[in-house]
Chains A and B, each alone.
Chain A
């Protein structure tokens, strides 16, 4: 591959919008983030997602979402967002002991 080709290539990819891909496995589990694809529009993103993330099977449904539509937390948010949960073990169901004699809990 020549230098000229590779610069054209990265130029093309840079122009195409990015889409996040979510796949759903056949057992009824929720859609999970699988990765991303570059595509000019939603239909092409769906086809790209099919070819890149569903070609080995185990998928019954695909979502593609424009990456720029996702609002993400940033690392500066972490202390305020997530640290307080570290010392609140009572927010986990495992914190509570099952009363004796209660079945089917």
Chain B
């Protein structure tokens, strides 16, 4: 089915759902952008910024579709640059500052693995526009998984220091993984129509991928599972997001409609 065929209640849910998908990527893209010019080597600098550009591209496509679904004339730029933190629907994991290279790589792996299983499932969405976008994103995300998992293996099974840093990152990040797999009523309305995928069903394939890589990396899933942090999908964000957005949004807000 096409978006134009959906009734207004479904469109409202779909708009919210697309904001979650788009906001995860615009926020992570902004965080990753911090590495531009600061990568440990030229090769890694280019690799990280390539992934960043892919991610911002995914955000633009998803938020563009969100704007169309909403039907109030907002495009991807209006949604990314002219909303306040409380209106963002991204998960908490992506708004954390980039940390060291180990933290960046572990987050990228956990998130890319999630994106991989998510967009694989959305490739067969009954919403034609979303399915088409998902197929394109999934292809690019496969590379992100390969790049980040290769680094997780090398740092995890590397030196004492690299392993310590990766383990520290993992201990911190693990508590943010639960939010990725929470289902709710917004999603539920769309799952029934085959438009969205039930997030809780994504955890087993994600866990399988994570375990495969952790085995190679001689890493273990944190034994004492911390209580999972949540709330960001409903606008309850960490203190980090507002600071990040103030930097990200200052130009379009100070100079509305600026182009170059």
Interface residues of A (CB under 8 A from B): 9, 12-13, 16, 37-41, 43-44, 47-48, 50-52, 55
Identify whether the interface residues of A are mostly helix, strand, loop, or mixed: helix
Within the complex, what minimum Cβ distance (angstroms) separates B117 from chain A?
22
Q: Which residue of A lies closest to B48 (CB)?
A: A51
Of the candidates A13, A38, A48, the one having the most CB atoms from chain B within 10 angstroms of its own CB is A48
Q: Mark B150-167, 1 if CB is under 8 A from A, else 0.
A: 100010000000000000
Interface string of B20-50 (1 = CB under 8 A from A): 0000000000000000000011111011001
Query: Which residues from B are CB-within-8-Å of A12?
Result: 40-41
Contact B41 A55 (CB under 8 A): no
Inter-subunit contact A40/B154 (CB<8 Å): yes
Q: Which of A37, A38, A47 contacts B150 (CB 8 A)?
A: A47
Please name all residues of chain B whose beta carbon is closer than 8 Å to the beta carbon of A9 when the two chains form the complex.
40-41
Closest CB of chain A to B140's CB: distance in Å?
Answer: 12
Known: A43-B150, A44-B150, A47-B147. A38 touches B50 (CB 8 A): no
B142 at interface (Cβ–Cβ under 8 A)?
no
Q: Select from chain B the residue with minimum beta-carbon distance to A44.
A: B150
The prevalent SS among residues of B at the interface is helix
Docked-complex contact B41 and A51, CB < 8 angstroms: no
Once the chains bind, are A47 and B41 in contact (CB under 8 Å)?
no
Residues of A within 8 A of B150 (CB): 43-44, 47
Give the residues in chain B near A13, CB-CB below 8 Å: 41
B244 to chain A, nearest CB (A): 23
Proximity bits, B137-150, A CB within 8 Å = 1, else 0: 00000010011001
| Chain A residues in 8 Å Cβ range of B46 | 51-52, 55
Query: In the complex, are the beta carbons of B154 and A51 less than 8 A apart?
Result: no
**Cα distance A39–B154 in the bound complex, in angstroms:** 12
Name the residue of chain B whose CB is nearest to the CB of A5.
Answer: B38
How many Å lie between the Cα of A28 and that of B46 in the bound state?
27
Q: Is the CB of A51 within 8 A of B43?
A: yes
The residue of chain B having its C-beta at the shortest distance from the C-beta of A36 within the complex is B43
CB<8 Å pairs between A and B, sample of 25: A9-B40, A9-B41, A12-B40, A13-B41, A16-B41, A37-B43, A38-B42, A38-B43, A39-B43, A40-B154, A41-B154, A43-B150, A44-B154, A47-B47, A47-B146, A47-B147, A47-B150, A48-B47, A51-B46, A51-B47, A51-B50, A52-B42, A52-B43, A55-B46, A55-B50
User: Which residues in A have their C-beta under 8 angstroms from that of B147?
Assistant: 47
Min CB gap A98→B, angstroms: 50
Residues of chain B lying within 8 A (CB to CB) of residue A37: 43
B219 nearest CB across to chain A (Å): 18
Report the minimal beta-carbon distance from B165 to chain A, rounded to whole angstroms: 15
B153 to chain A, nearest CB (A): 9
Given A40-B154, A43-B150, A55-B50, CB of A48 within 8 Å of CB of B43? yes
- Once the chains are docked, how many angstroms separate the CA of A13 from the CA of B154? 16
B146: which A residues are within 8 A, CB to CB?
A: 47
